[in-house]
A and B are shown apart, each in its own frame.
Chain A
């Protein structure tokens, strides 16, 4: 076996050359991967610690990439076989000390990275006891936001700036995920339990909430707006919303059908999205799975909304979940029925 040191001394020139190459590549890499340019603008307090971690990781990546590729390209250039040379190269089967070094140093990096990661995770989940609560309910393929403190239901998420929002995420059907790229953090909304996400918006503006977990056909379109307002504007919005409740059941019904995502599956113009259209639904004779027919009246509609699994319309899959309408009171269902009736 060759003595590793002797080999090293003999190759000082190559080491310096390759080393310089690696340094240059690293610098170029760091310049290219400069985080500001690779991520959307940050708009939440949680993004800060994540972006810091990104910048650390990108620098590490730039260095490691340069290290391997640099030496490799150097070898390709300087250690190529000359034409006609059929001899083997120097016999260099290994060096335990080197191997140990490149096992232990990465191990150290890994542990440091894990600890940095834990700290950043802690910062993103830091609790503000005064946080404003919002229930976020995902359903194929809409979002609904409920503000328990103000009794508001909305299809857009409106948040006051610089105040932590505690989002309680849940889903009525399949798994969805709440994500706003500018806020960085992401959390699945799963059926059968609430999951928490904390966001402290720091920039005014309108962003897009995207559903980040494949949830069926219109997953790509499962977006909603998140509007970050100043404290005063937010208060104004709250007042506007609470006063906006109409006393016309028809209007309320339409709003509810919008908010509860009914219109995501039921059209109002006769086309079939997923379920039967609401258009001219009332009064018609519906044939049900299993052969029965039924005259669509108030009682039937109420039943079909409250407990959709009970009667399945012929030719449609049993996709509408009882959880869809679980949040609706009886009056609210009647409002929706009033709305359906109006669609003639």
Chain B
């Protein structure tokens, strides 16, 4: 079926072209409507918003993501498992139903966004080395931190989706996700989303931080509308992707795989999806309300017209707090998944770890107001939120203690993925332990909106996402590409990134305690923060260097790396039974689950069996 690949056969290219056509169309539409109702023809805001929406739809049409649904609506039938229309590398730039390809697409886009956001960080960090403004003006600075924040968050969500898309069906023995078309749609909608987010840079930027609190966001430049649009679209992607994961996990598990026999990663993907599928609606709604206040003058957040600025914060954090657990849970799942492999011991207290994910996710729904301790909520209401926030520490603690118990008396080896796992544990511990001081109202009165918070969340996000994600990339790299990565470069990556991160994060916490506020372009020289800020910046650059090494390693090893053996880590997880790279429809026969997933060290134990072929046991020693 493979056609000759030319430029236009790439869905991405077609999509971008369609978008370039769609946006002016949408703008023209608005202009016409405005003319028709007698308003001045040109108004940039509605034109860009509608243009953006039409452009996004056009992009999806151009990619080919909607074709099947149009066909269905017109009464056509769809094949359940169409053969891939495109093969080779071009698959990765096209609409495809294969969850593994989509997983890689997510991963690559995630790393791209991560680099862009990281670059923004390096730029504004350079500005912060000295007091005074040297390279940026205050508006540019504010735009850059805001974009750094939101693009990083998008990168995390993409990375999370990458892992759960690639791994979940494999781990539960399914051949694909429950709704492959929806899955592909959920990926591709991220491309216009990313374009919008970045385009805000050229439309005046926005100076509100990623949180976009009104009334500031009502007064911000046009760029903020592009920010809203971008968040809207990747929110949609989150919801649809999560829904797909839940259905997949509930419906497509291999026979014999009860909930308590799922690989632990699947548990965390499931818990994550529960949050994304529901809470995400609220951030969309809150941003939509600001958007409408700007477009139509609706007075949601205007006290002069009976609005209330705190309403936004409640709606926003109702999503954005649970979202931070979206960021980490898959990461923590990865840690729990990899640790037993490298320790050669069962995951200690598998069930406790599994339900801890669920516990974190569910409790996380009821703690949002801890971001608003100083915002002027009623006094006593702060107490139940302090209590519920602290409650999250307990299931998180269960995970930590179980990990440590897993290591106890194990036989640990320290390949690159394991290094990242250990790094992740120690960094997430720092981040997590800096949580309770924020959660306790009295101390948060000092800490709120300082660099201590910045340190807190960089530690949680590096420990909970960045490090585990890199561990996952290294770990499953042979599965995806069929080749091994370069172990030396991998270790170099780790040994640069790990210490540099501690310098960065501790530095941030330190100056935060002493009174450095967040989101300031300049600081008072009298405070004596120049030296720590200089250190933080250098650390950030070292992190960037290590990431560059990581990229070089990936690109080089994909082409030239030594061919990997079937199961280089001697893992028990079912995906390692398959050849690498995995064929399009995963498992030739249905799996049968006959044992527990992590029984390392239990002689004769079997987790997975492919009926009619040989029992797959512990790899030969």
Contacts and interface: CB of A to CB of B under 8 A. Distances in A.
Chain A directly contacts chain B within the complex, with at least one CB pair under 8 Å: yes
Interface of A: 7, 11, 14, 38-40, 49-50, 53-54, 57, 60-61, 64-65, 68-69, 71-72, 75-76, 79-82, 85-96, 98-99, 102-103, 106-107, 110-111, 113-114, 116-118, 120-121, 123-125, 173-175, 177, 179, 181, 184-188, 190-193, 195, 208, 210-221, 223, 317, 319, 322-323
B588 interface: no
Contacts of A195: 376
A89 B442 CA distance: 46
A212 B386 contact: no
Contacts of A99: 349, 352, 398, 401-402
5 contacts: A68-B400, A103-B394, A117-B441, A120-B442, A174-B219
B310 A40 contact: no
B208 A110 contact: no
B520 A220 contact: yes
Given A114-B383, A192-B309, A214-B518, 17 more contacts: A50-B446, A54-B446, A61-B436, A65-B433, A69-B426, A91-B345, A91-B599, A93-B596, A107-B394, A175-B213, A175-B309, A186-B449, A214-B209, A214-B519, A216-B219, A220-B522, A223-B524
A101 B176 CA distance: 40
A38 B394 contact: no
Contacts of A85: 411
A72 B436 contact: no
Q: Which of B382, B510, B520, B598 has the most CB of A within 10 A?
A: B520
Task: List the 5 closest A-B pairs by CB distance, nearest first.
Answer: A192-B303, A181-B515, A120-B442, A220-B520, A91-B601
Contacts of B602: 91
Contacts of B308: 192
Nearest to A11: B409
B397 A79 contact: no
Contacts of B440: 53, 57, 113-114, 116-117, 120
Contacts of A102: 397-398, 401
A255 to B, nearest CB: 25
A81 B393 CA distance: 32
A71 B404 contact: yes
A208 B138 CA distance: 21
A93 B346 contact: yes
A102 B352 CA distance: 11
Contacts of A14: 408-409
Given A50-B446, A65-B430, A185-B446, A88 B344 contact: yes
Contacts of B349: 93-96, 98-99
Contact of A92 (B303, B346, B521, B522): B346
A117 B352 contact: no
Given A121-B382, A195-B376, A181 B397 contact: no
Contact of B443 (A57, A68, A79, A175): A57
A220 B523 contact: yes
A110 B376 contact: no
A220 B521 contact: yes
Q: Which of A38, A68, A96, A323 has the most CB of B within 10 A?
A: A68
